[in-house]
Amino acid sequence: MLTERHLEIFVALAEEGHFGDAAQRVGITQPPLSQGLRRLEALLGVRLFDRDRGVTLTDEGALLLPHARRALAAMTELRDAGAREHADGRRLRLGLVPELPARVGAAVAAAPARARERSRVGVTTAPTATLLSEVSAGRLDLAVIRHPAVLHGLSAGPVVLLPTWVLTPEPGFGEPSAGSGIPRLPVAVRPRAEGPAAHDLFVDTLAGRGRRVETVVVSDERAGLALVAAGQAVLVTADDTLVADGVVRHPADDPPLPLRLRVVWDPRRSQAAETMAAAKLLVEALSREAVG
């Protein structure tokens, strides 16, 4: 396996041009330095130095040198960044579903920092299924997901309901639905695989009015808004800033279609108590936007 030590030996020997000087530079004796070089050449399947004429780079060695220098510099930068992060307080790695309005997402991400629970927050946006996998794998500390979802051993806070609106084309597109005035057009939805349980609950709630629900899959709410403006779909959204010419906004209260959210984390992680404290702050921030 190629290691950082292999690259250090190679770069030191290329720059010093002498086995003894290179060994002293990397803090080892000459025999292990020579052994490390032989392993590197075996891993790459090429000769890196011409020993018949002193210690000079072969063509392959000259080709590798700038890449090895960049790799070592990147590793040093990564360690320095980790040291700064440790000194400043461990970064909270937070995941948010894309359906969360930008304003609400910003308030959620800012909550731990404002309470000085953590000094830094890294934010990732991804579908519910992806966020659950990332939390389970330890790559995220917390995530705000759509409810319901299969948690597979993760812990979760209470369900928070955000109000939504139905966006429809201006009158004249589609046959009005009985009672609600919402045209009978396909409903723009994200792919079911992103959150199967939440997707099915949403469709079942729509179907509760006694008619078959047609859907059209879109990549995100911007694409859904474009279909609404073109008179081809309706869209349910929690984002009150999503507007366009030719689009009418209706409260989504017949039937109620709130955006159901939960904060999830892995209680098996070593930082579980600290994460739970941050989760509480996230739930409070979400709840301030909740349906009354």
* CATH at 215: 3.40.190
Does position 82 have pLDDT exceeding 60, yes or no? no
Q: Mind listing the pLDDT tens digit for each residue in 172-230?
A: 665 555 445 577 899 999 999 999 999 999 999 988 866 678 999 999 999 999 999 99
Q: Is position 66 within any domain? A: yes
Considering 87, 116, 148, which residue would you say is the last residue of a domain? 87
Joined together, the tokens standing for residue 1 give 């396996």
Q: Are residues 12 and 127 in the same domain?
A: no
Q: Are residues 148 and 181 in the same domain?
A: no
Q: Is position 292 within any domain? A: no
Q: Are residues 105 and 221 in the same domain?
A: no
Q: What is the pLDDT of residue 213?
A: 86
Q: Is position 189 within any domain? A: yes
Considering 87, 111, 130, which residue would you say is the last residue of a domain? 87
**81: confidence class by pLDDT, cuts 50, 70, 90:** low
**273: confidence class by pLDDT, cuts 50, 70, 90:** confident
> 216-220: which pairs have CB atoms within 8 A and are 24 or more residues apart?
216/186, 216/187, 216/188, 216/189, 217/188, 217/189, 217/190, 217/191, 218/188, 218/189, 218/190, 219/190, 220/98, 220/190
The mean per-residue pLDDT over the stretch 259-276 comes to 87
* CATH at 275: 3.40.190.10
Q: Mind listing the pLDDT tens digit for each residue in 21-46?
A: 988 888 888 888 899 999 999 989 99
**Which residue would you say has higher pLDDT here, 139 or 160?**
160
Q: Read off the pTM.
A: 0.68
Range of the domain at 188: 164-257
Question: How many Å is the Cα radius of gyration of the chain?
Answer: 28
